Amino acid sequence: MEMQKPPPASAGDGCLVGVLRVPVKIVAVLVVLPVRVVWDLLAAVARLLNRHVLGPAGRGLRRLHDAVVRPVLRGLGRVAATLLMLVFVWPWTGLWRYVLSPVGRWLARLGSAVAAYLLRPLGRGLALVARALFVWPWVTLWRQVLAPVGAALLTHLLRPLGDGVGRALRAVGRRLLAPLARGITLVGWALGMALFVWPWAWLWRSALVPVGRGSARLAHATGVALVWLLRALFVWPWARLWRYVVVPAAGAAYRYLLAPLGRGACAYLLAPLGRLLVGAWHLAGRISRALGRGLVRLWRGCVARPCAWAYRQVATPAGHVVREIWRTARAAVREARAEVRRALFGAPPREPVRSRARTLGSTTAVGSAPAPEISLHERQG
């Protein structure tokens, strides 16, 4: 059985699909298939270990734990808990419940009784004595003596005296101090203008402004000179060097050195390397196709052809034999049933005997002898 050629690629597939199909097949055969085989083997080994080693071991350990370890640990835990309760909990609980708590309640009741019947009356008496000695005399002195005397002095002496003094001071200030303040203000303004404003204004107009303008012009000229000097020292030489030396040298180097080297490298190095890579690519494609054809032939030689031979040489004749035996047995059972019915009831059978000749839908004859060409009434008569 010859291997069928794969159908040609559809017209819609581009060159990118054709370029990527071969490496994908190579990766699938050389990388994915071994990894999947190893994974399936590991999975089968893991299932086998889980089914026959780890699973029974785990169930045995669980039963051992349920039967031995858990009761022992539970008993040890209960004993340890009882010992800990006996050593650390029950003594302190009894001490608190039967000693400290009753003593604390008795002391609290005693303190409440002492505070209610002794300390509270004593505190109230001391408070009354302190008030009688230190508060009430000063309050009475303030209310009965100092407050009335102060109110009388404020009403009849201090307030009239303050009003008179204020009126006198206002009259003196209005008649004497106001003109004096005006004169002092005018004299101070005149002295300030004569001493501080006019001299500095004259100095600004006559000296500082011309000096500033001359300094600005001098600084501008100095800056222009420095700019020209910096250009002459640092800009123009490098510009001339770049324009008349570097650019022509670079152009000549590219034209007469780099371009021929690049063309030679492309012609004698990159092109053979590219052809070598293309040849290696085509060789890898041929190897992958040969590997695929070998696997297909191996499958056909080891599995498909033996199975087809077994089907044609063993299963088909055995099926034909079983079919013949089954048909013969069925015809014999049908004839025996018809004979029994005829012997018991004497009536003609309800269905006629089928012909043993070749039928229209079958491919082989049921029997070698044809069915008798005799009508049903003649056979029964």
pLDDT digits (tens, 9 = 90+) for 89-111: 888 888 888 888 888 888 888 88
342-351 pLDDT per residue, tens: 776 665 545 5
Which helix (H) or strand (E) segment holds residue 46: the answer is helix 33-49
How close are the terminal C-alpha atoms of the chain, in Å? 61
32-46 pLDDT per residue, tens: 677 777 888 888 889
User: Confidence band (pLDDT; 50, 70, 90) for 56?
Assistant: confident
Average pLDDT, the chain: 78
Q: What is the DSSP letter of 52?
A: I
Indicate whether 314 pLDDT > 60: yes
**Is the pLDDT assigned to residue 19 strictly greater than 70?**
no
pLDDT at 380: 46
Residue type, 256: Y
Q: What is the pLDDT at residue 189?
A: 82
The pLDDT of residue 302 is above 50: yes
Least confident of 6-15, 38-47, 85-94, 229-238: 6-15
Alpha-carbon span 381 to 379, nearest angstrom: 6
Give the residue with greater pLDDT, 224 vs 175. Answer: 224
Looking at per-residue confidence, does 365 or 115 come out higher?
115
- Name the percent of the chain lying above pLDDT 70: 81
Q: Which residues contact residue 354 at a Cβ distance below 8 angstroms, ignoring those fewer than 6 apart?
A: 331, 334
Q: Quick one: pLDDT at residue 165?
A: 81
For residue 342, what pLDDT is reported?
Answer: 76
> Binning pLDDT at 50, 70 and 90, where does residue 357 land?
very low
Give the pLDDT confidence score for residue 346 in this predicted structure: 63
Mean pLDDT lowest among 79-83, 152-156, 349-353: 349-353
Look at residue 344 in the predicted model and tell me its pLDDT. Answer: 67
Query: What global pTM score does this model have?
Result: 0.25
